[in-house]
Amino acid sequence: MTTEYKKGDKVVISVPEIGHNTLGKQVLIFDEDSFLEVPINDKHFLGKLEDFKPAEEKIKFTPEEKKEFDHLKSLGRTLFDALNRIRSTEISRFFPYLDNKLFNKETGFSNQFEFARAWENPELIELIEPRHAVKVANMWLWKVENDYRLIEKFSLFNENCHFTKKEIEEIAKLPKFKYIELVGAWEESKW
């Protein structure tokens, strides 16, 4: 298949080693017994520049975060206004998932850049499986290295206490959680 090029197209070419300093010139190069002409021609064209741009990396949102994002977008506000609304103490209760994602002490700043990218390009949003904290008898499930424990104090801002349903199903199989209904607690959780 031959690509059609038109004036103004940006293209990627493979320059022969012998002609790397000869673009735009027709040069005769002496090689032992013969002269060699090195013009750039169709076989050196690899394609249009846009064919070589990497795909934009997807921005991962949980369904809850996406719902809050869509609500903010529907208001027709600016990115600055959206961030202020999320962080506002009076309004943030309406955007708890985005507030946690964007203003988390550990990951907030990088998530704010991702949020700005999503605001500009909502088509880059990819839904991921939700992650929730699990509360059982006033204690929270916590991951500590490769172990899981129930603890009394809980920080919504720490990722060590947020799990997908699949993770909870696997954790529930551990002998120490045999008699604890972790999956039900996960399903009831809003965080």
Q: What is the pLDDT of residues 140-190, one digit of tens each?
A: 888 888 888 888 876 665 667 788 889 989 999 999 888 888 888 877 776
pLDDT at residue 44 is higher than 80? no
Position 108 confidence tier, pLDDT thresholds 50, 70, 90 = low
For residues 135 and 28, the model is more confident at: 135
Position 122 confidence tier, pLDDT thresholds 50, 70, 90 = very high
pLDDT at residue 17 is higher than 70? no
Strand partners, 31: 34
Placement of tokens 């993770």 in the chain: 167
| pLDDT recorded at residue 70 | 96
pLDDT at residue 82 is higher than 80? yes
Of all residues in the chain, what percent carry a pLDDT higher than 70? 75
For residues 32 and 62, the model is more confident at: 62
Delimit the domains of the chain by residue range: 11-52, 59-127, 135-188
Whole-angstrom Cα distance, residue 128 to residue 63? 7
Q: What is the dihedral of CA 86, 89, 93, 94, to 10 degrees?
A: -40
| pLDDT recorded at residue 151 | 83
Query: Identity (one letter) of the amino acid at 83?
Result: L
